[in-house]
Amino acid sequence: MSARAKPNPRTRLYAVLAMLGLASSALVVRAVDLQVVRKDFYQEQGDARYLRDIDIPVSRGTIFDRNGEPLAVSTPVESIWANPKELLEHADRIGELARATGLDEESLRQRLAERSDREFYYVKRHLNPDDAQAVLALGIPGVSSQREFRRYYPSGEVIAHVLGFTNIDDAGQEGLELAFDAWLAGEKGVKRVIRDRLGHEVENVELVREARPGKDLTISIDRRIQYLAYRELKAALVEHHASSGSMVILDVPTGEVLAMVNQPSFNPNARGNVDPAYRRNRAATDVVEPGSTVKAFTIATALESGKWKPHTPIDTSPGTYTLYGHTISDVHNKGLIDVTGVITYSSNVGAAKIAATLSRDEMYDVFHRFGFGEVTGCGFPGESPGNLPIAKNWGPVEQATIAYGYGLSVTPLQLAQGYAALANGGRLRPPTFVKGGQAKDRAVIDPQIAATVRGMLETVVHPPGGGIKAAITNYRVAGKTGTSRTAVGGGYQKKYISLFAGMVPASAPRLVGVVVIHDPQGAYYGALVSAPVFSKVMDGALRLLDVPPDDVQNWYTASPDSGHTVRMARQAPDGAQPEPDYAEGVPE
């Protein structure tokens, strides 16, 4: 048997060197692949694990009232979040986290399991910073915090319907928060950071986008007058066991909304299940048939036609008027009155007889000029245009009923805008919620006609006019009561709506106010339900604004030795006063 060949050492050396060469070549190729060929891919993968773009939160702009009082502010809060995948690897700590945040442990475990493939989950948002720090101090893996802002409304439900509210992401949802969301919200910034495996930021790499805080907004609302209106409206609803109500106050020269309140209201600071009806800004979104308050515009149309003068007589006997089988009634037979008396005594018969002498196009044109049938242009989200049927659809009966406030529908804001035009010398200025944001006005009626109608409206607040409860000491008041019924498909419910619309001081109007109260129990006439609210609120508002009385010479201050008494604007200088007539005709 031949001996085995002895291995050649040189061959072995070459083999080892070849293998080393191949391994080195493979390493070089792999290095070139990693560092050159596929560099971007692996860089992206590394960045994806440790490099993050983080939002830089910004504070929403503050909303101020016209006097600089804060109405909506943003406060810093902390939100606790977790990396579900990492936290589930330490499942024994989930119970600890649940107890620290006040959450149900099983529910938290289930939510984390459902999101196990994600890297981010909000555990609990908008915590007090101290409470959030206590959670972080537990050192639970995968748990971090994030700075956010929460909206706070110092006045609570008093201004809730005007301001609206934001959601948990601080985005406007209703009211002015929604209307001016782009202005208030600002723009979040973005920064690029490196995070360690626990999610902690270890280095700021670069600023991707600079944060732009939201801009502040000064609105037209006067918080003091708003509170007055809120208080008195709420008291009236309680007194009369009414279901809801609204009040609007406008500044006549500028059209600025000084107050807008609704009942029932809601607390915008309390997020939760709130009845949507409570959140509705009824003053701008809900419509009513305005009843006798619209007679002011019917009379303005009559005066503009040239067919009627303030003292033109009109016979309302016997207190009813039958038109094409439809009977129009007054509560009492007013007999022979004049055009002014139609306003003073709130005669449906008189208004209908005057309308019968006017063309439907004339009436529609004047009503439309005063803003009925279209939105006011104030920009409030969800504002209703009301309903003013086009003239060609008016028959004689429809025209007659529209003349005394039925067959059309308006919002309280629209009605206030119309009365403000009468107060402003016949010039209509769209209302605004922004201080100094007044829109351009336009002429809608001759100034002399507007002045004449104002004078007629003053008679309502003197006996025997029914609006005596709207009177204000030492100020002349011009206004009109109204009573209507809640309309339903094909007819009316046995529910009433009480209204009053007026202006003060009548000699040089500064403020216009409209009060609407739904479904009062017992007494339901606007003269008894809404007029007193107008008086109390406007009395306080005039004094807060330092509006001088109409006639300073007759404004006496009572004192122990003066011998003078304070004169009420509604008092006749001498003699007994006739009894006021509060009742108004309401269709069955």
Catalytic residues: 292
What residue type is 154 in one-letter code? P
Tokens of 406: 């039925």
Q: Are the C-beta atoms of 88 and 99 separated by less than 8 Å?
A: no
> Do residues 350 and 585 make contact, with C-beta atoms less than 8 angstroms apart?
no
Within a 10 A sphere around the Cβ of 326, how many other Cβ atoms?
Answer: 15
Q: Helices (H), strands (E): how many in the chain?
A: 21, 21
The residues facing 442 across adjacent strands are 428
Q: Is the dihedral of CA 557, 558, 563, 564 positive or negative?
A: positive
Three-state secondary structure along 56-100? ECCCCCCEECCCCCEEEEEEEEEEEEECHHHHHCCHHHHHHHHHH
Q: Distance between CA 347 and CA 300 in Å, rounded?
A: 15
DSSP 37: I
Residue 238 and residue 246: Cα distance in Å, rounded?
A: 14
Q: Which residues contact 160 (CB under 8 A, 6 or more apart)?
A: 153, 175, 265, 266, 267, 268, 279
Q: How far, in whole angstroms, is CA 290 from its chain's centroid?
A: 21
Pairing of strands 63-64, 217-218: parallel
Say whether 122 sits in a helix, a strand or coil.
strand
Whole-angstrom CA distances from 512 to 115, 256, 423, 469, 503 are 57, 11, 8, 16, 4
Is 409 within 8 Å of 402 (Cβ atoms)? Answer: no
Other residues' Cβ atoms within 10 Å of the Cβ of residue 55: 14
Taking the C-alpha atoms of residue 333 and residue 317, their distance in angstroms, rounded to an integer, is: 6
Sign of CA dihedral 470, 280, 275, 184: negative
Q: How many Cβ atoms from other residues are within 10 Å of residue 504's Cβ?
A: 31
Name 398's Cβ contacts closer than 8 Å, sequence gap at least 6.
389, 407
Residue length of the chain = 588
Three-state secondary structure along 95-118?
Answer: HHHHHHHCCCHHHHHHHHHHCCCC
d(Cα 528, Cα 434) in Å, to the nearest integer? Answer: 34
The two three-digit tokens of residue 15, written as one number:
């083999």
Cα–Cα–Cα angle for 60, 63, 68, rounded to 5 degrees: 135
